[in-house]
Amino acid sequence: MSKTELSKGTLFEPSLVTDLISKVKGKSSLAILSQHTPIPFNGLKEFTFSLDNEIDVVAENGKKAHGGVSVEPIKIIPIKVEYGARISDEFMYASEEEKIDILKAFNDGFAKVAKGLDLMAFHGINPRTGEASSVIGDNHFDNVVVQTVVYDAGDPDANIEAAVAVIHGSEGEVTGAAFSPIFSSALAKMKINGVKAFPELSWGANPGSINGLKIDINKTVENKTVKDRAILGDFMNMFKWGYAKEVPFEVIRYGDPDNSGKDLKGYNQVYLRAELYIGWGIMDANSFARVVEA
């Protein structure tokens, strides 16, 4: 990897992109519970089809009736997220092996996009500021999913049953659930006749499934303004996320790209910046329910 190849305008190494997305898939509840699809830079339009009526029995020579169909388009528009870090300008003159090591360390930091995906899609917030993002707008679970169950710390199992009933009542399916550590801890404490009902959750464990339902336990389920404790629903079919495979990467040698007030040249530094285009769509809000603390 030559000095020229690391100039402004290059792309993140394909191996590092693969490593980054692998980290995202392993650290994001949404990535674990759902499936991703490649998204072009200009976005993607998905269609959901609803066949309104049941099948109809027709006598021989009988009249056939219209069953009805509803088509709803869902747009998945990629949002640009970036991660940058200042390092010593010795990076520009280091050996190829040392540069690779630095980029791998940088990639570990950039992998926080996994946490970011959850925070953006669950709560509509900018992960860095913790505040609502106008770029994301209303495209997040806290806004779209209005089917809720009031959290009961004494009987969280009943909360799950109630949430499942709500989703089934809307003719949806439940393929997975994301639990906050608070909800998981409450489940772990539950006892029936003095015996722990969910021993697999003891000591903060994250077993991956409970009673045959795929789960993930993650702090990202929680939000300081809306106290989500669990989110259940059809993550496999009714939530989609994806990313544009090319990740722009820059080595910036001049100026103050992070607005810190410190000129790079004056501090013998360079600035590494990578950008990722990531998008998501909630295909059917009625296929989800949230357990929320009042």
Question: What is the value of pTM for the model shown?
Answer: 0.83
Single-letter code of the amino acid located at 199: P
User: How much is the pLDDT for 245?
Assistant: 73
Q: pLDDT 10s per residue in the chain (294 long)?
A: 333 334 435 778 888 888 888 888 889 999 999 987 766 656 665 544 455 555 556 666 566 555 555 556 677 888 899 999 999 999 999 998 888 899 999 999 999 999 999 999 999 999 999 999 999 999 999 999 999 999 999 999 999 999 999 999 999 999 999 999 999 999 999 999 999 999 999 999 999 999 999 999 999 999 988 999 999 999 999 998 988 777 889 999 999 999 999 999 999 999 999 999 899 999 899 999 999 998
Residue 21 within any structural domain of the chain = yes
Residue 91 within any structural domain of the chain = yes
d(Cα 148, Cα 44) in Å, to the nearest integer? 29
Residue 82 within any structural domain of the chain = yes
Residue 281 within any structural domain of the chain = yes
Residue 104 within any structural domain of the chain = yes
d(Cα 59, Cα 56) in Å, to the nearest integer? 10
90: containing domain: 4-49+72-292
Residue 30 within any structural domain of the chain = yes
Residue 61 within any structural domain of the chain = no
126: left (phi over 0), alpha (psi -120 to 50) or beta: beta
CA atoms within 13 A on the CB side of 76: 26
Q: Find where tokens 């679970």 sit.
A: 141
Distances (CA, A) of 200 to 110, 151, 195, 203, 228: 32, 21, 12, 9, 22
Residue 67 within any structural domain of the chain = no
Q: From 220, 217, 223, select the one nearest 201 (Cα to Cα).
A: 217
- Domains in the chain: how many in total? 1
Query: Can you give the CATH number for the domain in which 196 is found?
Result: 3.90.1690
